[in-house]
Amino acid sequence: MFTYHINMKTLFMLLLFCHVASTVKYSMKYVLTATSGVTNLPEFVAFLMVNEVQVGYCDSNSKTVDPKQDWMRDLLNDDPKHMEWYVQKCSSEQHVFRFNIYDFKQRLNQTGGAHILQRMNGCEWDDETGEVTGFNQYGYDGEDFLVLDLQTLTWTAPRQQAFITKLRWDADEATSEFNKYFYIHTCPHWLKKYLHYGRSSLQRTDLPSVSLLQKTPSSPVSCHATGFYPDRAMMYWRKDGEEHHEDVDHGEILPNHDGSFQISVDLILSSVAPEDWRRYDCVFHLSGVEDVIVTKLDKAQIRTNWGKTEIRCDGSLKTNARPGS
């Protein structure tokens, strides 16, 4: 389902298209957003994402196409017609989205307020099987609105109010033929081209260093992984070899200053007997890498400041003694 928040910081995450870790699939996505009645955002914004990495951007204020990666800038310099296509597409999509959001407002009897129309379209390519999967879907005001079925080249309307639009779009044979060719041929061809130009970053995999951290003896034990790339990763606690969710707090994947990422998953040990610690371990899995990193819950391996001397803000010393010392 589509959800949205009206602020630039989270704009390109509006669609909540959560990526699933995969060892062989690559993706290219266009994320387009039009707004009505919103004063603090451009009327139209578009992102190009490759393997969940933003590589291109345009909006109705700047009216230019801005490559977000050095390799994408090189590609557009090497292929001026490619750049020309994006410039023209950015301009034409602004007008199309302006008309569509006006049309949807009329059909839903909306005369005022803030409204948002979004589209996410693109393709996935499996480099092992060669399978290509295209997708094109619209969301309006936080809900799924129209979804293209590429098998039949017809639209599905999850909301009754979109049914008339579905019928009109289904009857547009020229656009249907364009969609058929674009998602089966053009999209995977461009995706492979982008992967070639951006192979040093898009297809790189860096494993993290994983540590067990604890602030005090009564604090949760944090399994912390840092330095991994890309950001498509999973980390979780296990008990007796099974994924464990009770008394577990999952942190978000956060960026590091060097472009890599970090994540922490906390385990609350207040209800765990000391003799049961050996039943727990922490698992880190990076997308594209078969091997996982398993870290046993071992008290001797926990890094902590407990028992070390700290310098207070006033310059005085404080020693945190360990219990029983």
Burial 221-254 (b: 16+ CB within 10 A, else e): bbbbbeebbbbbbbbbbebeeeebeeebeeeebe
Instruction: Look at residues 177, 202, 227 and tell me which one is the last residue of a structural domain.
Output: 202
Is residue 3 in some structural domain? Answer: no
Is 147 in the same domain as 266? no
ω before 230 within 30° of 0 (cis)? yes
Residue 307: predicted pLDDT? 56
Residue 306: predicted pLDDT? 67
Containing structural domain, residue 292? 209-319
Is 194 in the same domain as 213? no
pLDDT tens string 163-204: 999 999 999 999 999 999 999 999 999 999 999 999 888 878
10 Å Cβ neighbour count for 195? 17
DSSP reduced 3-state for 9: helix
Is residue 28 in some structural domain? Answer: yes
Element (H, E) at 169: helix 163-170
Is residue 324 in some structural domain? Answer: no
pTM over 0.85: no
Is 192 in the same domain as 70? yes
Instruction: Look at residues 141, 175, 202 and tell me which one is the last residue of a structural domain.
Output: 202
Is the pLDDT at 109 greater than 80? The verdict is: yes
- Residue 284 in contact with residue 293, Cβ under 8 Å? yes
Is 113 in the same domain as 167? yes
Is 79 in the same domain as 150? yes
Is the pLDDT at 37 greater than 70? The verdict is: yes
Number of domains in the chain: 2
6 confidence band (pLDDT: 50, 70, 90)? very low
* Residues 48, 76: Cα–Cα separation, whole Å: 14
308 confidence band (pLDDT: 50, 70, 90)? low
Is residue 2 in some structural domain? Answer: no
Instruction: Look at residues 141, 167, 202 and tell me which one is the last residue of a structural domain.
Output: 202
Is 31 in the same domain as 154? yes
Is 162 in the same domain as 275? no
Is 151 in the same domain as 50? yes
Is residue 51 in some structural domain? Answer: yes
Is the pLDDT at 17 greater than 70? The verdict is: no
Task: Provide the 8-state DSSP code for 215.
Answer: S
> What CATH number has the domain bearing residue 240?
2.60.40.10
Is residue 233 in some structural domain? Answer: yes
Is 103 in the same domain as 20? yes
Is 242 in the same domain as 219? yes
Is 18 in the same domain as 162? yes
Is 184 in the same domain as 262? no
